[in-house]
Amino acid sequence: MTNYKLNSKNLSKLTKQVAIPQYDRSNVKTGIVHVGIGGFHRSHEAYYTDQLLHDESITEWGICGIALLDFDSKIYNTLKEQDGLYTLIVKELDGSLTKGVIGSIVDYMFAPENPSKVIEKMASADVKIITLTITEGGYNYSEATGEFDFNNPLIEFDLKNPQAPKTIFGYLTQALKLRKERGLAGFTIQSCDNIQGNGHMTKKMLMSYIKKAQPELAPWILSNVSFPNSMVDRITPATSQSDIIQLQETSEIDDAWPVVCEPFKQWVIEDDFIAGRPAWETVGAQFVEDVVPYEKMKLSLLNAGHSVLGILGALIGYNTIDESVHNKAIRTFLNSYMDKEVTPILGDLEGIDLYKYKQSLLQRFGNIYIKDQIDRICSESSAKIPIFILPTVNTQLQEGGSIEYAAFVIAAWAIYSIGIDEKGEPLLIKDVLETILKEKALVAKNDPASFLEVESVFGKLKDSKKFVDAYLNAYGNILKYGVEECIIRMNDKVLNNI
Ligand code: CS2
């Protein structure tokens, strides 16, 4: 089979076995600017939008993808080489692959190369929505103070260099300033990150920055910009070299960076778009009045479930999430965590069958073809744990409920942070707080509670005797018996007797 480099020119050469955009991409305007064009954006929002653009009467909702960080130059260069095109490979539960070329990213920019071009783009009249996947840590929120972190050197830089910023806050501020000066309407800023109340968080953080950077702009923003909350979901592992080769071998496409994902997808959005929006509901998104319960459910079951499987699995020496969930003891532990500690805090979720939702998560985690990397899941845990697990712990503590399973996971994380698994192999710790986590983890070998002193992660958790006792008990047991033996005993409810 002849292979063609993926680009606009070669699209027409592909035979029909892979779906390709059936719309005139040159006719599509960019009503959306998206910041953070990693795998998740490309398996989720860009996919939904591509489906939408197949209705050729819709031409105003193409995406301009922004690579914000120096580190993002590779994806920018790839998209540029491929005219914004990439292949989405859905790994079905039976192992088959559904492949489609996605065409919704019709423009792309590398912010570090030309910040003013990005600001101008955001300020242009066609743009109605800025969507974000800037990761949980990208919001510059300090868990210790509950406020915007003005000590971040990049924020200090942006305050001094408003025309050539480095952070999303600097870009949005400058673009909104230009829109106001030019008498243009505002836009919607829609976070697509895994944060409870992601719209509220975006608003709170941006307004804190604006009050320092451009205080006179604040009232205009409050009446001209909207920040809908949303719940986003689709498991999207990092693309591996074998995915690239498999695509070459099973299609005519040479794609330098395809995206792989699971079949499941969900997008629940608050209908609060001040400058109009695409009819994403026609391609499967749900628009609701209040997305908060959905977000809470997803973050505290799916994302927390991932962290549980990732941290426990990493210590045992597993590489992928499916290996971890197929370990019966871990699976039982995860079930107990979800049933005993998370479910009670979720309250009534109208129209959702939680039992089925939890069952479906186990099936999704268990998809053996996805091979979701434990390294990916455990990366940046210092930003994930405060969002995925600690809100559950704090509510349970207030209500006198169980925290034993969560405390076990945190103890396992403290041991994980030493950087060696139970087989003596090194663990790859990828975290902005890597240095401090390692330092505390080493001290914790003799004084386990000291790990809980990382206030930017744990806040005041170390003051809860109930939590600390459970954590210390778990820490000691893990070192003594190993993760698997501990959870087998815990599952048998005999741990307290060991
Ligand atoms: C994962 C998420 O990063 C993580 O820890 O839990 O990336 C997860 O795969 C997505 O949120 C799924 O929607």
Distance from the CA of 482 to the center of ligand 1, in angstroms? 26
**Residue boundaries of the structural domains of the chain:** 4-288, 292-497
Query: Where does the pLDDT of residue 55 fall: very low under 50, low under 70, confident under 90, or very high at 90 and above?
Result: very high
Separation of first and last alpha carbons in the chain: 62
Percent of the chain residues past pLDDT 90, beyond the cut: 94
d(CA 408, CA 390): 13
Name the closest-CA residue to atom 8, ligand 1: 235
Closest CA to 302 of 345, 259, 357: 357
Closest ligand 1 atom, residue 233 Cα: 13
Calculate mean pLDDT across residues 325-349.
95
Query: Residue 495 — very low, low, confident or very high, per pLDDT cuts 50/70/90?
Result: very low
Tell me what pLDDT residue 347 has: 82
pLDDT of residue 166: 97
Averaged pLDDT, 402-431: 98
CA–CA separation, 474 vs 495, rounded Å? 9
CATH superfamily of 4-288: NAD(P)-binding Rossmann-like Domain (3.40.50.720)
Structure tokens at 378: 């455990």
Predicted confidence (pLDDT) per residue in 275-302, tens digit: 999 999 999 999 999 999 999 999 999 9
Q: Residue 132, exposed/middle/buried by CB under 10 A (0-12, 13-18, 19+)?
A: buried
What integer best gives the mean pLDDT of the chain? 96
Query: 162: which 2 tokens?
Result: 């408003």
Ligand 1 residue neighbourhood (C-beta within 6 Å):
194, 233-235, 303, 306, 377, 384
- Could you tell me which CATH class the domain 292-497 is placed in? mainly alpha
Q: pLDDT per residue over 354-411, tens digit each?
A: 999 999 999 999 999 999 999 999 999 999 999 999 999 999 999 999 999 999 999 9
Percent of the chain having pLDDT more than 70? 99
Per-residue pLDDT band at 493 (split at 50, 70, 90): confident
- pLDDT band per the 50, 70, 90 thresholds, residue 498: very low
**Could you tell which of 40, 44, 301, 308 is best to mutate to test the pocket of ligand 1, judged by most ligand atoms within 8 Å of the CB?**
40
What is the pLDDT, as a whole number, of residue 309? 98
Nearest alpha carbon, ligand 1 atom 10: 235
What's the whole-model pTM score? 0.96
